[in-house]
Amino acid sequence: MAEAEALTEIWRGPFLESLHRGHAVICDASGDTQEVWGDAEKVILPRSSCKMLQALPLLESGAADAAGLTDEHLALACASHEGAAIHTERVARWLDDLGLSESDLRCGAHPPKDRAAKFALIRAGLAPSQLHNNCSGKHAGFLTLARHLGAGPEYIDPDHPVQKAVLAAFEAMTGETSPGHAFDGCSAPNFACTLTGLARAMARMAQAQDAVDGRDRAAARLVRAMTAHPELVAGEGKACTELMRAAAGRAAVKTGAEGVYVAILPDLKLGVALKIEDGATRASECSIAALLCRLGVLDAAHPATRRVMDAPVVNWRGMETGSIRPAPALR
């Protein structure tokens, strides 16, 4: 079992102030690894990085078509969104179209990360709703599937038909039997897998353009939805949105809590998965950008890439005090 490897460096003046270690795998759909950093067999919780896998049953079951879902809905089902109006209004309409409401969600409420939405709530003296939860689109997808299956309202129960379908799709795509689950911030079960399993699943999403069966067609449609609507997958200024725009269709990328990041590369038919050992987002963003530059999918000089990969650290008076950089192993 390889130790976590140095992936991202935090510099301040002439000093290497902090260091993020982690594990990363680039592999194809058969699970053959092209490159590995750290431990390819590391068991991780993919967190929100696997929302595309969690959305597969929504399509495969026919629930999405029956409900008339568009690519915008599907992008939101895969999203960790910022709770901006473009996200919350669409999820609210989606629930309304289902004959449901915000109270049918089981994701819990948290303040939106979108500044305008956050300030508007504070100024109005209003509490955030479950629509603001970054996972509300995923949960609207779960509710759509639950209704289609005629299943009960507690769709986050691991024994609920929705979660059983998610687990089946997750295991099929990762090519592994999941060693178990924990509960995510949004209360849905999050199934564990190896990092290679997660990268393999992403490679399968990547090669699904050549759709042969229902699952591949579902995967291809989700990838198209994400790359067509990057602003719905995260939000303005956020890494997922900006990196997908910079990659111009050559990559669908998704962050997950605790330092997880994945990339689906349809041109190369490759999948990438990484986990920062300590869970830091600044390092997962820098590391995924460095890997996509290595693979020729991102331009290192693009502003969106530089913002996360070669980012100056600027202090409260606008003074540049340091930088975030990929460690030598990723350069």
Stretch that binds a second copy, among 27-35, 71-79, 87-95, 118-126 (CB under 8 A): 118-126
Q: 61 near 54, Cβ under 8 Å? A: no
Among 96, 183, 213, 312, binds a second copy (CB under 8 A): 183
Show contacts with a second copy in window 37-66 (CB under 8 A): 43-45
Among 2, 19, 248, 329, binds a second copy (CB under 8 A): 19
Task: Count residues binding a second copy (CB under 8 A).
Answer: 48
Q: Is 110 in the site for a second copy (CB under 8 A)?
A: yes
Residue entry with tokens 């929302």: 51
Q: 171 near 198, Cβ under 8 Å? A: no
Nearest approach in angstroms of CB 270 to a second copy is 26
Q: 275 near 21, Cβ under 8 Å? A: no
Integer angstrom CA distances of residue 60 from 28, 165, 222, 329:
23, 10, 11, 40
Q: Is 158 in the site for a second copy (CB under 8 A)?
A: no
Nearest approach in angstroms of CB 15 to a second copy is 6
Q: What is the identity of the amino acid at 137?
A: G
Question: Residue 171 in 3-state DSSP?
Answer: helix
Stretch that binds a second copy, among 106-114, 237-245, 284-292, 300-308 (CB under 8 A): 106-114
Q: Which residues of 283-297 are buried (b: 16+ CB within 10 A; e: fewer)?
A: bbbbbbbbbbbbbeb
CA distance 80 to 184: 13
Q: Is 181 in the site for a second copy (CB under 8 A)?
A: yes
Q: What is the C-alpha end-to-end distance of the chain, expressed in Å?
A: 23
Stretch that binds a second copy, among 95-103, 180-188, 210-218, 228-236 (CB under 8 A): 180-188
User: Which residues would be at the binding site for a second copy (CB under 8 A)?
Assistant: 4, 10, 12-15, 17-21, 43-45, 106-110, 119, 122-123, 133, 180-187, 190, 192, 258-259, 276-280, 283, 315-319, 321-322
